[in-house]
A and B are shown apart, each in its own frame.
Chain A
Amino acid sequence: MTHTLSLPWTPVALSSDVPPGTVIPAKLSSGPIAVWRTQSGHLSANGDRCPHRGMRLSHGFVRGETLSCIYHGWRFADDGSCTHIPAHPNLTPPSAIKCNPRQAKESGGVIWVADELPDEEPVFFEGYKPLRSLVVAADETSVREATQATDVDSGLAVNHAGTDIRLLVSDLDGEQVFVILLLAENTSPEACVSASRWAEVMRQKAERICNHGETT
């Protein structure tokens, strides 16, 4: 049974991965997306494809409150509407031009994205904070096996050397999963380092299990 995979909101990054004025690529099961934060701190997400000539918007750059495509500089607002076409600076861009906006929300230091606005709020682990994220070249089943984790409210729970760890797992492209590690807020710096190392070991183990499953 998959948990995180079937959530209405997909965890795609840590809030700290997207500081104001930046854009990063991410993935939903419906396809690639660009996640970006305006200069003033507002978070947005949209399909990773410019409606003009198909360039990936995650290669663009944030300008003030808009996302600018790297190819011809078309600018988009957080609702997906086009606000400026540099080749025709005096033209008001037609409202038909849209860059597929998605729903984006932050909760507990994690960025969550959905195609349509879900009824429920994203999961929130009271008293936990994100430590790091990692990409694992394996499926969720292998991650479960490698971590021996148990299910808790839409995530996974593990205890490593006395440290409580929560994992959020989402599918990237069928061959990789995206994992976010959360620790209790009062976890000591040493325990954080140790949990981060454990995550690396877990990654290798999950990848081995997954590979093995394929070849045997």
Chain B
Amino acid sequence: MTDTAMKDAWYPVGLCSDLSADGRKTRLMGEPITVKTGPVGAPEVLNADNEPLPVIIRFGHVWTSLGAPQTDLFTIPEADQPSRKLVDVGVVRVKCSPLRAVENFLDIAHFPFVHTDILGAEPHTEVEDYKVEIRDEEDEVWATKVKFFQPQAAKSAEGGITTEYMYRVPAPTCSVLYKTCPPRPGEWDVICLFVQPLTEDLCDVWPWMALYDEDNTMTELIHFQQMIFLQDRSILENQIPTRLPLDPGMEMPTRADMTSVAYRRWLKRHNYTYGAQLVAK
């Protein structure tokens, strides 16, 4: 089975702030699961046979796995810095492959067209060369020195600026974005996309942020991020094929797509194929 590799990975399945003793019924890679507060008050995830699955509490979310994870869930040291606002954005359900959702998050070239006048605007459409690597030691995909003009880079940004980004893929359905932080030059805002694969063509997306922001309320920040993600959803539900093609030929990348190319290569190398389309299939 090619899906074993992904079975052993960690996935977000709910917000810690949302737990109840009754529990929430959801799915993970096609399997029904229940996420709840257990008898002693600790979060618990149960499979269809009521057997407990492994649990990690991190980044405001409950994480679990259907397999036997060989590694700990990744960490984000920056998110632990004091005085950051930790924002649980909540969940957005998208009819798309979990891998397509991550790939879209890694993409900047769509900003002027999909997030018009917010994250990008014509004529500032050029994507300058940036650096992409698969870091062997951490086993993560990284894109650095990514620069793009943004008319309104974040809730706390007034007017247009050239924003710098770093993208990181530490798990098959998770991505962390580091983005220059207007109120604190030299620091990075942290914006994450954690994706729960319900099936190969359906996912629950849990955006999460750790920001330096004193001007906006939690509600404003949540609304801003939700609006951005709903714009992405209208794209994600209309790509053909629904699953992410891992073999070349089906789609046509350019230099601006180097992160996507590396992500696909990394997925293929690890047999992370749940939500992928392979020629052999």
B110 within 8 A of A: yes
Pick from B113, B127, B251: contact of A54, CB below 8 A.
B251
| Given A59-B238, A87-B109; 18 other pairs, CB 8 A cutoff | A32-B240, A48-B240, A49-B240, A51-B252, A52-B253, A54-B240, A54-B245, A54-B251, A55-B238, A70-B235, A71-B110, A72-B109, A73-B125, A86-B109, A86-B113, A86-B126, A87-B255, A89-B126
Q: How far is A88 from B257 in the complex, measured between Cα atoms in Å?
A: 11
Q: In the complex, are the beta carbons of A55 and B239 less than 8 A apart?
A: yes
B241 within 8 A of A: yes
A117 within 8 A of B: no
Q: In the complex, are the beta carbons of A71 and B240 less than 8 A apart?
A: no
**Given A54-B241, A86-B112, are A71 and B252 neighbors across the interface (CB < 8 Å)?**
no
Count A/B pairs, Cβ under 8 Å.
68
Pick from B127, B238, B251: contact of A87, CB below 8 A.
B127
B interface footprint on A43-61 (CB within 8 Å = 1, 0 otherwise): 0000011011111100100
A97 within 8 A of B: yes
Most interface-central of B113, B127, B256 (chain A CB within 10 A) = B113
Residues of B within 8 A of A (CB): 107, 109-110, 112-114, 122-123, 125-127, 234-235, 238-241, 245, 250-257
A-chain residues with CB within 8 Å of residue B255 when the two chains form the complex: 87-88
B-chain residues with CB within 8 Å of residue A87 when the two chains form the complex: 109, 125-127, 254-256
Q: In the complex, are the beta carbons of B254 and A88 less than 8 A apart?
A: yes
Q: In the complex, are the beta carbons of A54 and B239 less than 8 A apart?
A: yes
Write the chain A residue with the least CB distance to B250: A54
Nearest CB on A from B207, distance (A): 20
B-chain residues with CB within 8 Å of residue A56 when the two chains form the complex: 238-240
A: interface residue count bin: 20 to 34
Nearest CB on A from B138, distance (A): 27
Q: In the complex, are the beta carbons of A86 and B122 less than 8 A apart?
A: yes
A85 within 8 A of B: yes
Q: In the complex, are the beta carbons of B252 and A52 less than 8 A apart?
A: yes
Nearest CB on B from A86, distance (A): 4
Q: In the complex, are the beta carbons of B252 and A73 less than 8 A apart?
A: no
B-chain residues with CB within 8 Å of residue A91 when the two chains form the complex: 254
Nearest CB on A from B34, distance (A): 35
Closest 4 CB pairs of A and B: A86-B125, A87-B256, A87-B109, A87-B127
Q: In the complex, are the beta carbons of B251 and A71 less than 8 A apart?
A: no
Q: How far is A49 from B240 in the complex, measured between Cα atoms in Å?
A: 7
Q: How far is A71 from B111 in the complex, measured between Cα atoms in Å?
A: 9
Write the chain B residue with the least CB distance to A91: B254
B-chain residues with CB within 8 Å of residue A88 when the two chains form the complex: 126-127, 254-256
Q: In the complex, are the beta carbons of A85 and B254 less than 8 A apart?
A: yes
Most interface-central of A49, A53, A73, A87 (chain B CB within 10 A) = A53
Q: How far is A91 from B253 in the complex, measured between Cα atoms in Å?
A: 14
Q: In the complex, are the beta carbons of B252 and A70 less than 8 A apart?
A: no
Instruction: Give residues of chain A (62-112) contacting chain B, Cβ–Cβ below 8 Å.
Output: 69-73, 85-89, 91, 97
Write the chain A residue with the least CB distance to B111: A72
A-chain residues with CB within 8 Å of residue B240 when the two chains form the complex: 32, 48-49, 54-56
Q: In the complex, are the beta carbons of B254 and A71 less than 8 A apart?
A: no
Write the chain A residue with the least CB distance to B232: A71
Q: In the complex, are the beta carbons of B235 and A55 less than 8 A apart?
A: yes
Q: In the complex, are the beta carbons of B251 and A53 less than 8 A apart?
A: yes
Write the chain B residue with the least CB distance to A96: B252
**Given A52-B252, A88-B255, are A72 and B110 neighbors across the interface (CB < 8 Å)?**
yes
B-chain residues with CB within 8 Å of residue A85 when the two chains form the complex: 254
B-chain residues with CB within 8 Å of residue A70 when the two chains form the complex: 113-114, 235
Pick from B112, B125, B251: contact of A51, CB below 8 A.
B251
Q: In the complex, are the beta carbons of B127 and A71 less than 8 A apart?
A: no
A-chain residues with CB within 8 Å of residue B257 when the two chains form the complex: 53
